A = this chain, B = another copy of it.
Amino acid sequence: MEDIKNPYSLNSKAVAEATKYWLHKRGVTLEEIAELVLFLQQKYYPNLTIEECVHNVEMVLSKREVQNAVLTGIQLDVLAEEGKLFTPLQDMIENDESLYGVDEILAFSIVNVYGSIGFTNYGYVDKLKPGVLERLNDKTTGQIHTYLDDIVGAVAAAASSRIAHRKQAEREQELGLPHAPEDTEEAARKLAAEDGLE
């Protein structure tokens, strides 16, 4: 009957599930992010399917580093929507202040995990605001997505980088060229072969 608090330890499954839950609750589907990926990559890979894009978005979202950024950004959006941040941070996030760039900083930490080739794609979709990004930027809804729109663009850019690395691997294998697998890539390929996934 004691009130002994369990010592803390990270529950990675809870973090992964919260990431999916909050993206969904804030109105963003994996398919919408995948459409941004297709928008960015289909000119380079004409046969790229939306299913492949969804799979790559899921893989990006499985990264702890990405989950941390998504959860922190959405948390700040939600608190801003509820008016619970202190002044003047509340005003800056509520109004998506153009000199406030912490949202870009968090977004960039997502892009970085899949390497520097994603920098350009991130900036491009963040400026053009296609698809879901246009909706997230609609300031008439009362919802605040100062962080989420950048985060969604960053996940799409990261998934694009992931695809570029995979396509290189596929190409070398199909042509029978020498190939040096990246970290855990060989392993993933074996599993995918068993599952018929990739």
CB distance from A107 to the nearest CB of B (A): 8
Interface size class of A (residues with CB under 8 A): 35 or more
Q: Are A86 and B124 within 8 A (Cβ)? A: no
Within 8 A of B (CB), among A101-145: 101-102, 104-109, 112-113, 115-117, 119-124, 126-128
Answer whether residue A51 sits at the interface, using C-beta atoms and an 8 A cutoff.
no
CB distance from A33 to the nearest CB of B (A): 15
Residues of A within 8 A of B (CB): 8-18, 22, 59-60, 62-65, 68-69, 71-72, 75-76, 78-79, 84-89, 91-92, 94-95, 97-102, 104-109, 112-113, 115-117, 119-124, 126-128, 162, 164-165, 168-169, 171-172, 177-192
Task: Using A17-B180, A63-B182 as known contacts, list a sample of 5 further A-B pairs with CB atoms less than 8 Å apart, ordered by residue number in A.
Answer: A13-B180, A120-B126, A122-B123, A190-B191, A191-B191
